[in-house]
């Protein structure tokens, strides 16, 4: 299951962590978010132990969403050692997300 990021745990689990993190900014009411939700779940299993993959609900965690200027959802950020290295705005395929992860692992 994908990790659940919150305003409360984001600093310690992402910003202070070495390695690769993928954060899906989403909301319950967002149709395109429901399209990529299963992709995020699958990627969290496939990359378990190598990449922390999770979701952040923007309705309940506005601080982190505001910090990164999230204006459209879904937005997926790829962070390496706490720094944004890639971004995907809007629904996309699992393959596109996986290629973004692989590019950073290489």
Per-residue model confidence as pLDDT tens digits over 9-50: 999 999 998 999 999 999 999 999 999 999 999 999 999 999
3-class SS at 25? strand
Pairing relation of β-strands 75-80 and 20-26?
A: antiparallel
Instruction: Give the residue among 41, 81, 33 at the shortest CA–CA distance from 57.
Output: 33
Is 55 catalytic? The answer is: no
For residue 61, give the CATH number of its domain. 3.40.30.10
Domain that holds residue 56: 3-105
Q: Centre a 10 Å sphere on the Cβ of residue 72 and count the other Cβ atoms it contains.
A: 10
Query: 33, 40, 77, 91: which is the annotated catalytic residue?
Result: 33
Query: 2, 30, 36, 51: which is the annotated catalytic residue?
Result: 30
User: Rounded to two decimals, what is the model's pTM?
Assistant: 0.96
- Domains of the chain: total: 1
Instruction: Give the residue among 25, 2, 12 at the shortest CA–CA distance from 72.
Output: 25
Is 30 catalytic? The answer is: yes
Q: Centre a 10 Å sphere on the Cβ of residue 26 and count the other Cβ atoms it contains.
A: 23
Q: What pLDDT is stored for residue 83 in this prediction? A: 96
Instruction: Give the residue among 82, 80, 81 at the shortest CA–CA distance from 103.
Output: 80
């Amino acid at each position: 299951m994908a990790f659940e990021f919150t305003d409360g745990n984001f600093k310690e689990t992402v910003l202070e962590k070495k390695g690769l993190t993928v954060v899906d900014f989403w909301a319950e009411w967002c149709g395109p978010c429901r399209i990529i939700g299963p992709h995020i779940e699958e990627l969290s299993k496939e990359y378990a132990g190598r990449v922390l993959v999770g979701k952040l609900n923007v309705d309940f965690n506005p601080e982190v969403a505001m910090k990164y200027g999230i204006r459209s959802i879904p937005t997926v950020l790829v962070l390496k050692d706490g720094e944004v290295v890639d971004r995907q705005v809007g629904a996309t395929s699992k393959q596109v997300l996986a290629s973004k992860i692989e590019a950073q692992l290489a």
